[in-house]
């Protein structure tokens, strides 16, 4: 496991929220379009704003569902990896930081003792650098 993969737990939900905003924007645009019922011809070629908007809306909704599925898979994989970490303090720090999405300062407060946000972060950095996992070296994965 690497930091980049762990931090995906922070950024994937933000991507999902962005996609939801895009969907809402398209829905708002579609409700603002009024059909031309005058019966009078209008210029230019054929242009179906509603049809194009619906296609875009369906595409964005499919992308949102794909993001949600990807997030769930990534979250499950990372949580399983965290669960396998045998070092209790490292496991707790990983849980607080990446599952509960606490700041490093909040993590240090929860751990207590003489731990600072920097010491907690450095413990995780060293742990990840060593490649220590419950049953051997961590997986290597570039994304």
With cut-offs at 50, 70 and 90, classify the pLDDT of residue 107. Answer: very high
Among 3, 42, 20, 38, residue whose Cα is nearest residue 121: 3
What residues does each domain of the chain span?
Answer: 1-34+47-83, 86-137
Phi-psi region of 137 (alpha: psi -120 to 50; beta: other; left: phi over 0): beta
Weakest mean pLDDT among 28-32, 94-98, 125-129: 28-32
Residue 116 has pLDDT above 70, yes or no: yes
pLDDT tens sequence across 40-95: 666 555 566 777 888 899 999 999 999 999 999 999 999 999 999 999 999 999 99
Q: What confidence score (pLDDT) does residue 2 get?
A: 87
CB atoms under 10 Å from CB of 79, counted, come to 15
Weakest mean pLDDT among 24-28, 98-102, 126-130, 131-135: 131-135
pLDDT tens sequence across 1-50: 888 889 988 899 999 999 999 999 988 888 876 665 666 666 555 566 77
Q: What confidence score (pLDDT) does residue 18 get?
A: 94
CB atoms under 10 Å from CB of 97, counted, come to 23
Q: What confidence score (pLDDT) does residue 1 get?
A: 86
């Amino acid at each position: 496991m690497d930091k980049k993969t762990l931090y995906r737990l922070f950024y994937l939900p933000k991507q999902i929220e962005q996609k939801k905003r895009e969907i809402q924007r398209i829905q708002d645009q579609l409700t603002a379009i009024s059909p031309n019922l005058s019966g009078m011809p209008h210029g230019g070629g054929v242009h179906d704003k509603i049809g194009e908007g619906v296609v875009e809306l369906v595409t964005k909704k499919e992308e949102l569902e794909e993001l949600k599925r990807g997030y769930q898979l990534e979250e499950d994989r990372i949580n399983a990896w965290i669960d396998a970490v045998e070092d209790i303090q490292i496991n707790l720090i990983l849980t607080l930081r990446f599952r509960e999405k606490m700041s490093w300062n909040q993590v240090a407060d929860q751990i207590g003792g003489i731990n600072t946000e920097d010491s907690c972060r450095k413990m995780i950095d060293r742990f990840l650098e060593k490649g220590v996992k419950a049953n051997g070296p961590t997986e290597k994965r570039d994304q």
